[in-house]
Amino acid sequence: MNSFTVEILDDEGAKCKIFTVRKEDASLSETEKFFNKRTTTLKAFNRNFQELTNLISQVIANEDGALPEYFRDEREAHGLPKGEMDLDEEVVSFANFPLRLYCLRISNEILILFNGDEKTTWAGQAGKTRTTFIEAQMFAEKIKEALNEGYIDFEKDENFVP
């Protein structure tokens, strides 16, 4: 994989600061690429994108933080969404949610979003999510290594290359 930068996506949340990754020489971050699919290859999932956006921007960023119960374990990385939640006074079940957004939950206060796609098979490493699943594993592994070696400090840095 080419090198990449970890950069702030949204630091306005009261409970959680959200980061993303941008591959070297890419004009869009991986998270921007995912949400751009809303107007291209995944037009039929507009409501699902709205629910996922609400989960991230409202519940995780401003109400609860990146609590472990919101994330699926996806080997080295994590996946959104998981479970059933009360969003805007409506219970939303994510049990059979058709989209998967890969990420890395560092703590309740730090979340790094990657890319994702339509979930077409039971296993994340197959179907339409295959490429984004594999990339998420590599991003997560490199970020964890950089954290363990002290190359990343989320309290001081805004953009960094793991």
Q: How far apart are CA 100 and CA 88, in angstroms?
A: 21
Above 60 in pLDDT, residue 1? no
pLDDT digits (tens, 9 = 90+) for 98-116: 999 999 999 999 999 999 9
Report pTM.
0.89
Peptide bond into 81 cis (omega under 30): yes
Mean pLDDT, rounded, for 29-53: 91
CA distance 143 to 119: 25
The pLDDT tens digits for 2-12 are 689 999 987 78
Domain range for 108: 4-160
| Distance separating alpha carbons of residues 75 and 61, to the nearest angstrom | 24
Four-CA torsion 29, 33, 39, 45, nearest 10 degrees: -120
Tally the domains of the chain. 1
Is pLDDT above 90 for 41? no
